[in-house]
Structure 1
Amino acid sequence: MIKGLTWLIGFQLLGEVVVRLLDLTVPGPVAGMLFLFVFLRLRKPAADAPVLRAGSGLLRHLQLFFIPAGVGVVAYLGVLGDDWLPIVVAMVGSWLVGLAVVGWTAVGLERLLGEPRDDQPVGAR
């Protein structure tokens, strides 16, 4: 487990170093996760590799990572109560924009790749 966690922390550190050296606007852990993904796709480790076991162990306890977010919500409950309308409008608006972008992307990819949609009549394919 320690060896796998060392791999995970190492890739996070690599992401931090690359982001700071190149002055990117992406968070270092996200860049490190991308590097880890590329590394794992190229190397294709065995199912019992330490990094995979460490990742699976962390995923089993993923709910613990939501505790800081919950504490933040409770700590800023007064602010949320005062500014509830703009927060709700921003959340619903961003959800609608995200939904529209995903839909437009799916339709665009279907047209680009020439894949028929399921909702088209059989004779129209």
Structure 2
Amino acid sequence: MILNITIILGFQLTGEVMTRALSLPLPGPVTGMALLLAAFLIRPELATRVLPTSQGILQHLSLLFVPAGVGVVSHTDALGDSGVALLIALVGSTVLALAVGALTFVALARLTDNAGDRS
């Protein structure tokens, strides 16, 4: 299990180093995850080896939200000052994301239906 965690963190570190060295416009952990996926595709036995450890990490993912909750509680004064603006931003962005997703789906559905009629 220690080796599996080392493998996962090693890919994250490699992604972080690559992203900073090459000035890539994406987070290092995302680059590391893409490298890990490539390694899984090249060597499927690596995926089989890391699977139990990754499932264990995912089962306890809620523990990673504890620091965020503590941060919110410790900054209640800032939340009180900007609470209305934060609420409007959260609700507005959620509604906007849902609307854009729905409109994109409708547009793609129409596009694929029209493409199917032409052939």
When normalised by structure 2's length, the TM-score is 0.82
Gap change, CA 1:37 and 1:79, over 3 Å in 2: same
2:112 and 2:43 map into 1 onto residues whose CA distance is 30
When normalised by structure 1's length, the TM-score is 0.79
How many residues end up aligned between the 2 structures?
Answer: 114
In the alignment, what sits opposite 2:51?
52
Q: Which has the higher contact order (CA 8 A, sep 6+)?
A: 1
Aligned-residue CA RMSD (Å): 2.1
1:7 and 1:65 map into 2 onto residues whose CA distance is 20
1:21 to partner: Cα distance: 1.5
Preserved CA contact (<8 Å) 1:12 1:32: yes
2:87 and 2:24 map into 1 onto residues whose CA distance is 31
Gaps of 5+ in 1: 116-125
Gap change, CA 1:3 and 1:112, over 3 Å in 2: farther
1:105 and 1:87 map into 2 onto residues whose CA distance is 26
In the alignment, what sits opposite 1:95?
94
State the identity as a percent.
46
1:52 to partner: Cα distance: 1.0
Gaps of 5+ in 2: 115-119
Matched, 1:70 2:69: yes
SS at match of 2:102: helix
